[in-house]
Structure 1
Amino acid sequence: MTSSTRAWRRDGAVPTADLETIRAGVVTFGRQQTQGSDAADIAIALYDGDELIAGGFGRTEFQRLYVSYLWVKDEHRGQGVGGDCLRQLEAQALRRGCVDALIETLLDDAAEIYEHLGYACISHVHDFVPGFTRHTLLKVWQPRD
């Protein structure tokens, strides 16, 4: 007869490696359900010499670009650098055969910029974070069947 040593751990008592195991397990299970995942990281970075001034990354999967992060250093904002980064990610995604792109933001101004760049807002979650709306935007290059 074996004795049980089960015990719940919470918050900081759960090792970071175990959090990654949980995340990977959910992703793996989901991808097994959909079959045929072709997930691949995608990234772009702009440097001035050795200084990183802008960049973005996400993944491509199932013919879609998922933009996770898009960032521009404060002093370079408002100069079109963010739009250039997004266009660079899109160009890579198109070369990979993507037919659309998905991006999210909590900033109304960023959502407007994305709309100006051809994205359409497909959902809003008001007060996602107090005082902020979560915008989900989609850009379609080629309609899906």
Structure 2
Amino acid sequence: MSEPTRAWLRDAAVPAADLVAIREAVVLHGRQQAQGSDEQAIACALYEDGRLLAGAYGHTEFQRLYVSYLWVREDSRGQGLGGELLRQIEAQALARGCVDVLIETLLDEVAELYEHMGYACIAHVHDFVPGFTRHTLLKCWAARD
């Protein structure tokens, strides 16, 4: 019996499907450790005349809403749509039994907006990206079980 042949691949040489497989394997392993995952995608979007105006998506799991992305079309910013979008997706999460929500941003002014909406900064990394601080914010609606 011959020895298996091994080869290191790097960067673009690693097939995209294998990158997805790696991510999924890490997530699955973590969920197996935590046990009882109830992960479910969550999304909310606003359309105007059939065009996407604003949207947010992420997932809920272990009674927590994780907001991955929140976006408002550039020509519609400054009108309160981002805050309304966040309230909409929070309402969905509350209906699912979530007790808190976690969100991140690289923009100081967005972190301040979230703080005005009841979020507390629980961590930040200065120069996460040169010139930007990564803010991790948490909003609690109820105590954890």
**Rounded Cα–Cα distance in structure 1 between residues aligned with 2:108 and 2:123:** 13
Deviation at 1:144, TM superposition (A): 1.6
Deviation at 1:99, TM superposition (A): 0.2
Match of 2:13 in 1: 13
State the identity as a percent: 70
Match of 1:22 in 2: 22
Which portions of structure 1, spanning 4 or more consecutive aligned residues, are displaced by more than 3 angstroms? none
Deviation at 1:4, TM superposition (A): 2.3
**Rounded Cα–Cα distance in structure 2 between residues aligned with 1:137 and 1:23:** 24
Deviation at 1:86, TM superposition (A): 0.4
Q: Unpaired segments of 5 or more residues in structure 2?
A: none
TM-score when scaled to structure 1?
0.98
Listed one character per residue, the Cα deviations across residues 86-111 of structure 1 (whole Å, up to 9, x for unaligned) are 00100000000000000000000000
**Rounded Cα–Cα distance in structure 2 between residues aligned with 1:97 and 1:144:** 11
Give the SS at the match of 1:25: helix
TM-score when scaled to structure 2?
0.98
Match of 2:121 in 1: 121
**Rounded Cα–Cα distance in structure 1 between residues aligned with 2:3 and 2:124:** 50
Q: How many residues align?
A: 145
**Rounded Cα–Cα distance in structure 1 between residues aligned with 2:2 and 2:96:** 52
Give the SS at the match of 2:5: coil
**Rounded Cα–Cα distance in structure 1 between residues aligned with 2:101 and 2:142:** 10
Give the SS at the match of 1:21: helix
